[in-house]
Structure 1
């Protein structure tokens, strides 16, 4: 007998009522699944992040300190040196990006995994910059070129970034972003 994963047995595209002992609890307490449209500004606008970048916020989870967004560096540029206090997973969507501390360059479809305790200097040399989808947990500490602490960006920082911009522009806050 081999232990080979195969596709699920159903061949019909229909909803199956799966029995679950705690369904009522899930229905009462879970925020539920949701879809966030990242291709338009319907669910989340591009919020400026310095002169050459913007962030499209996708999710905020204050219970776990998790935030998700798309970082868009619009042309060749740098996101200064930063130290991760949590795990970061990013997928390069467009363009390319590298860290000065490593010898690789991420291209579209590539996965970047960063672990707590590492510092990086993110650079894109691509003529059109880079778009990175990120799923991040924990704070990110930013430092200047002399290794002096500048600021910490955590789930609360990113919520404030999103909400402040929306209030300034008269854009309603999207409750789907808060999980």
Structure 2
């Protein structure tokens, strides 16, 4: 059996691949886009509690998917939360751990979370942490006594973003909506 190698990529130009549904895709797809995450112009840092902020990257209401960068600014906790969908995060800066596990994520480590699990996110790093995440489905948050506090989902995060923009006279970036 032959070993698989990478497909050839010998042309640095657009190649017409003759996809039979190109017109349908052009008519119905929002298309690819670039979000300048390092810039606060495309998406500002929005407070998420006293020691954290979120930079929203994408909202997809069709699949209840949302993407953001979570910044816990110094040692701290994002309280216990229960996932009803799949989460994938990349540690960009600092370090982070969950009380429920024995590992510590550091850059560029990947964190995978599955539906039906609860977690308590903690950073002990002096500069906190930044996590880039793709999240699907609702996330239920609980207080320190295990009492339900709130459910967040794509609509909650869209409201978080839009409310902040309106209250601060910032334009809503339509590129964030898939």
Q: Could you tell me the TM-score, scaled by structure 2's length?
A: 0.98
Structure 2 equivalent of residue 137 of structure 1: 136
- Tell me which stretches of 4 or more aligned residues in structure 1 moved more than 4 Å: none
Task: Give 3-state SS (helix, strand or coil) of 1:86's partner.
Answer: coil
Deviations 1:117-137 (A, max 9, x none): 000000000000000000000
- Cα drift, residue 17 of structure 1: 1.0
Aligned length: 178
Structure 2 equivalent of residue 12 of structure 1: 11
Structure 2 equivalent of residue 40 of structure 1: 39
Give unmatched runs, 5+ long, in structure 2: none
Q: Provide the rounded CA distance (Å) in 2 between the counterparts of 1:137 and 1:170.
A: 29
- Cα drift, residue 5 of structure 1: 2.7
Structure 2 equivalent of residue 86 of structure 1: 85
Structure 2 equivalent of residue 178 of structure 1: 177
Q: Provide the rounded CA distance (Å) in 1 between the counterparts of 2:29 and 2:19.
A: 14
Would you say 1:151 and 2:168 are equivalent positions?
Answer: no
- Cα drift, residue 161 of structure 1: 0.3
Give unmatched runs, 5+ long, in structure 1: none
For residues 65-104 of structure 1, the aligned pairs below 5 Å read 65-104=64-103
Cα RMSD (Å) of the superposition? 0.7
Deviations 1:48-88 (A, max 9, x none): 11111100000000000000000000000000000000000
Would you say 1:105 and 2:104 are equivalent positions?
Answer: yes
